[in-house]
Structure 1
Amino acid sequence: MSRREVAQCHDEVAPGSAEPVPSPGAVEQTTVTSTPASTPALPPKPSRVTATLTAVVTGAVVLAATAGLNISWTELGDVPGRVVEYLRLMFADPNWEKLPRALFETWRSISMAWLGAIGCVVVSIPLGMLAASGMGPAWLRVGLRAIFAVIRAVPEVIIALVLLTVTGLTPFTGALALGIAGIGTQSKWVYEAVESAPTGATEAVRAAGGSTAEIARWAIWPAVAPVLMSFALYRCEINIRTSAVLGLVGAGGIGSMLSNYTNYREWDTVGMLLIVVVVITMVFDLISGSIRRRIMEGARVRDVDGTG
């Protein structure tokens, strides 16, 4: 073999490899055909008929409601000016001479709210637990939920007007009205909290032969107590706002004082009373909200640690 042939063979063998390396011309070029990706289907366009019908029905309802109110459109332009004038009369120079009496009446309203909330919570917790699924017979659950729905349908003012014929114009009437009116909503919150609680402890107590009362005491109550305490504080917040409204129908408290001075057209005193109501309500909301957050945060910590 000549030197030229040996060099040619050496060039065709890669270093460290026993197989010859094909020359560039010997490489077969392959054509890769890519299949285009399938385009995702677009969501269907919303039906214009449905949107048009919704707009037409909404407009018809608004027009019907407006026609039933007998609105004087020519006087609407004067409303902003009147509002500004009454705000000036109330808050330009409030009458602080009656502040001590306003604070006393505010305390009566808070007392009504607390008494109504306590009575509502005491009654709604056992009734709400009995209305929860798996806690009582079906006929009792259905009956209690129907009663709760009826109570929720009646406003507090209507209940107060009915009670006025029995108890008279006293703050106790307002407390009773707040307590009775709150049972419907509070009991609903209770049985919803019970139904959403973990079922492990309930099944364990039931498997051990526990009665319904024992299940409620040892399985359900530890799981839902923080939530129910938070609901109780929230009920008190609602009652404080509502107690001012009940005073307008003669139930006593700051609402009665506000109604009287509004009828007397003593706007400077009305302005002072509104300031007191707003400040007291906001302060109580802040305190109650802070307590409720602490309760719920403590409950979450116990759930994470497994010590609850």
Structure 2
Amino acid sequence: MSRKHSHHAGGPHRRSVNAGPGSSSRSSADSNNAHRDAAGSPTYKPDLFDRPVRPSKLGYNFALILVGVIFIAAFYGAGMDLGALLRMPANIWQYGQLMTQGVFQTFDITNPEDPVRGYWVQSFTAMIESVAIAWIGTVIGALFSLPMGFLAARNMSTLAVYIPTRFVLAIVRAVPEIIFAIAIMIPLFGVGGRGGALAGAFALGISSIGTLSKLISEAVEAVDEGPLESVRASGGNQLQMIRWAVLPQAMPEVIAIWLYRFEVNIRASAILGVLGAGGIGTLLSTVFNARAWDRIGIVLVAIVVVTIIVDQISAFIRHRVIHGANVRTKRSKNDDDGDGEAPDAPSDQPGEPPRDKVAAVPI
């Protein structure tokens, strides 16, 4: 008792007579934080209530400045005109009005001699031709990408086959389809007409082989190894393993990859058409050279409408292939069969036989 009294009375951290109600806790905190080292100078010891030190943002700010400097250097290094960028909003408004006037022109749909009706028919016909070119290119890519994907999969081929196949596919992916069209296909098949459409289809097909094969090989490498081991254990060969163990797992994703590539090829066919490879791109190049902004607006509307329709159909098919029937439809069907009521819980206790099957015991 005397020790405690002497500590509070004559200690180094004596409580003042007029101290407030929180001074005791503050003095005890000060006594814990204030220590003296060997030289007798007080040192600070942080407690649990100290906030962590905010990290420095020097590196983050330096990275932002570096990105900005590189962007400005690339802008001026490429010879871009800042004045054209500033005039862009006014130009968009001007040319947008001209194209809108062309789109909303009235025409007689029953009169085949109406020029505006002919513009719309010509635009949608050319866009359908672009869809056909994209479809042919996707089919070509799909036919070659499936076997190439298996050859490029690490779990399906030996190292002597895997490395050369991957190298060839990397070369094909490195060359854009527009280079295939300019350097190889258009000189072979010609510009415009049926030859240009064939050149565009083969350019899209060869370019699709590289991308599709890589994606399919990744899908094959990601399959479950259990069915593969089961086929091997039952004595199946490589082809039987691919047919019964790999394809059932990878085929839904492969079909989804093919459909997605078809969507990409539709957009790419429009670009190839500007070079004379047929389709909507050829028509767009013609009306743009004539600066017929009303017809350009009609062509752009045809591109947007057909592309959206094809994308929605492709997305629906891909969803059904990957996820099956709609879950919401299944639930509604189950609710209709059961009148929307949940089944009654079993009344039997765990560990007891069902009540309707308990045998009568004679007394």
Give the TM interval when normalised to the shorter protein. 0.7 to 0.9
Amino acid in structure 1 at the alignment position of 2:138: A
Aligned partner of 2:91 in structure 1 is: 82
Amino acid in structure 1 at the alignment position of 2:189: T
Indicate which of 218, 223, 229 corresponds to 2:255: 229
Aligned partner of 1:18 in structure 2 is: none
Indicate which of 131, 145, 150 corresponds to 1:110: 131
Q: How does 1:35-184 map to 2 (within 5 A)?
A: 45-94=54-103, 95-162=116-183, 163-169=185-191, 170-184=196-210
Aligned partner of 2:308 in structure 1 is: 282
Amino acid in structure 2 at the alignment position of 1:69: A
For each residue in 1:279-308, what CA deviation from the matched residue of structure 2 results, as whole angstroms up to 9, or x when unmatched?
A: 00001111111111111112999xxxxxxx
Q: Which runs of 5+ in 2 are unaligned?
A: 1-46, 104-115, 328-363
For each residue in 1:201-221, what CA deviation from the matched residue of structure 2 results, as whole angstroms up to 9, or x when unmatched?
A: 111112223222221111100
For residues 177 and 137 of structure 1, the distance between their equivalents in structure 2, rounded to whole angstroms, comes to 30
1:190 is paired with a residue whose SS is helix
Would you say the 8 A contact 1:96–1:269 is kept in 2?
no
Aligned partner of 1:239 in structure 2 is: 265
Query: Deviation of residue 72 (structure 1)?
Result: 2.8
- For the pair 1:191 / 2:217, whether they are aligned, the reply is yes
| Farther off after superposition, 45-54 or 252-261 | 45-54
2:157 is paired with a residue whose SS is coil
1:249 to 1:75, Cα distance in 2 relative to 1, 3 A: closer
Amino acid in structure 2 at the alignment position of 1:280: V
For residues 141 and 300 of structure 1, the distance between their equivalents in structure 2, rounded to whole angstroms, comes to 39
1:128 is paired with a residue whose SS is helix
For residues 271 and 248 of structure 1, the distance between their equivalents in structure 2, rounded to whole angstroms, comes to 16
Identity %: 37
1:128 to 1:269, Cα distance in 2 relative to 1, 3 A: same
The number of equivalent residue pairs is 264
2:155 is paired with a residue whose SS is coil
Query: Deviation of residue 89 (structure 1)?
Result: 1.1
For each residue in 1:2-47, what CA deviation from the matched residue of structure 2 results, as whole angstroms up to 9, or x when unmatched?
A: xxxxxxxxxxxxxxxxxxxxxxxxxxxxxxxxxxxx9599888544
Query: Deviation of residue 78 (structure 1)?
Result: 2.0
1:47 to 1:227, Cα distance in 2 relative to 1, 3 A: same
1:103 to 1:83, Cα distance in 2 relative to 1, 3 A: same
Amino acid in structure 1 at the alignment position of 2:149: G
Aligned partner of 1:209 in structure 2 is: 235
More helix by share: 1
- For the pair 1:297 / 2:323, whether they are aligned, the reply is yes
Aligned partner of 2:288 in structure 1 is: 262
1:104 to 1:49, Cα distance in 2 relative to 1, 3 A: same
For residues 167 and 59 of structure 1, the distance between their equivalents in structure 2, rounded to whole angstroms, comes to 46
Would you say the 8 A contact 1:230–1:295 is kept in 2?
yes
1:42 to 1:129, Cα distance in 2 relative to 1, 3 A: farther
For residues 114 and 299 of structure 1, the distance between their equivalents in structure 2, rounded to whole angstroms, comes to 26
2:278 is paired with a residue whose SS is coil
For residues 52 and 242 of structure 2, the distance between their equivalents in structure 1, rounded to whole angstroms, comes to 49
For residues 300 and 149 of structure 1, the distance between their equivalents in structure 2, rounded to whole angstroms, comes to 38
| Farther off after superposition, 238-247 or 92-101 | 92-101
For residues 53 and 186 of structure 2, the distance between their equivalents in structure 1, rounded to whole angstroms, comes to 59
Q: Calculate the TM-score normalised by the size of structure 1.
A: 0.80
Query: Of the two structures, which has the highest relative contact order with CA contacts closer than 8 Å and spacing of 6 or more?
Result: 1
2:223 is paired with a residue whose SS is coil
Q: Calculate the TM-score normalised by the size of structure 2.
A: 0.68
Amino acid in structure 2 at the alignment position of 1:167: F
| Farther off after superposition, 147-156 or 123-132 | 147-156
Query: Deviation of residue 107 (structure 1)?
Result: 1.8
Query: Deviation of residue 148 (structure 1)?
Result: 1.8
Query: Deviation of residue 111 (structure 1)?
Result: 0.9
Query: Deviation of residue 141 (structure 1)?
Result: 1.0
Query: Deviation of residue 69 (structure 1)?
Result: 2.4
Query: Deviation of residue 73 (structure 1)?
Result: 2.7
2:156 is paired with a residue whose SS is coil
